[in-house]
Amino acid sequence: MTRPHLSEIDSWANFETRILKVLVLALEILRNSERDLTEENEDKLNYKFYFCMLEAVRRLGGEDSGINSPPVYECINPPLEEEELLDVSRKKRPDFQWGYIDHSERDPRKSAKHYYVECKRLGTPIRSDWVFNQNYVLHGVLRFVKPEWKYGRASSSGTMIGYIQSMKLEDILAEVNAHAGQKKLPGIALSEEGWKENGVSRLEQTLERPQVSPGRFQLRHMWLDVRAKESEN
């Protein structure tokens, strides 16, 4: 394999393509790593997912993968030049950020680009005060829209990871989209690949966010089926 040219790495679209490949493979590694992930809470799943991403980069070619920086785990939003130091969004902590320097950016102070990844569990709630499919929208998708969070700031796209704990896949999507509609958000659409039971399903959503730049934002969704594996036998 040949190492990518710098100009290829410095393209946001090319960078995202590489990140998405890592995310899909890392999710597959995560699912195959243990017999039962349904009892794990979000923090434990994310902790394991971090190391799966590092393994995925190595499997995809290591240095030749085009990924030369690690994901940053639960770090505060990086500063933007036009923001005030005490902007409330500066203290928010997305689950993961993956950054690089865009050497084609004319203004060096704007050359740091970051790809945001936020993760949530999906399925039947196990507590009345924490409803998975509702929280996927309220404490996930909306963080890419609300100015007090500004996830995906200065970026044109990002990803939501859904850890599917239970329920039928189509029922989860119906519930998530119902909650999205209540917040005046567009629905999430399943890709043409369809559902991937026991694997990673890919979905898409286009957000309009007038208080966060850029205003038009493409949110990718990757839903990992970690439902009990006994049915596979």
DSSP-derived secondary structure for 6-70? HHHHT-HHHHHHHHHHHHHHHHHHHHHH-S--TT--HHHHHHHHHHHHHHHHHHTTGGGGT--SP
> Where does the pLDDT of residue 1 fall: very low under 50, low under 70, confident under 90, or very high at 90 and above?
very low
Q: What is the pLDDT of residue 233?
A: 40
Q: What percent of the chain has pLDDT over 90?
A: 69
Q: What percent of the chain has pLDDT over 70?
A: 93
Amino acid at 209: R
Query: Which tokens sit at 47?
Result: 């902790």
> Where does the pLDDT of residue 231 fall: very low under 50, low under 70, confident under 90, or very high at 90 and above?
very low
Boundaries of every domain in the chain: 6-77+88-224
Query: Which tokens sit at 133?
Result: 């499919």
**Locus of tokens 């990518």:** 4
pLDDT, mean of residues 81-105: 85
**Is residue 5 over pLDDT 70?**
no
pLDDT, mean of residues 109-128: 92
Q: What is the pLDDT of residue 2?
A: 47
Cα–Cα distance measured from residue 101 to residue 111, given in angstroms and rounded to the nearest whole number: 5
Q: What is the pLDDT of residue 86?
A: 67
Phi-psi region of 230 (alpha: psi -120 to 50; beta: other; left: phi over 0): alpha
Query: Which tokens sit at 186?
Result: 């567009």
Q: How many residues does the chain have?
A: 233
Q: Which helix (H) or strand (E) covers residue 136, if one does?
A: helix 132-138
Give the list of residues 6+ apart from residue 126 with CB closer than 8 angstroms, or none: none
Structure confidence by residue, pLDDT tens digits, 143-195 = 999 999 999 999 999 999 999 999 999 999 999 999 999 999 999 999 999 99
Instruction: List C-alpha distances in Å: 213 to 49, 79, 80, 104.
Output: 29, 14, 11, 19
Give the list of residues 6+ apart from residue 31 with CB closer than 8 angstroms, or none: 37, 198, 199, 224, 225, 226
Q: Which helix (H) or strand (E) covers residue 175, if one does?
A: helix 169-182
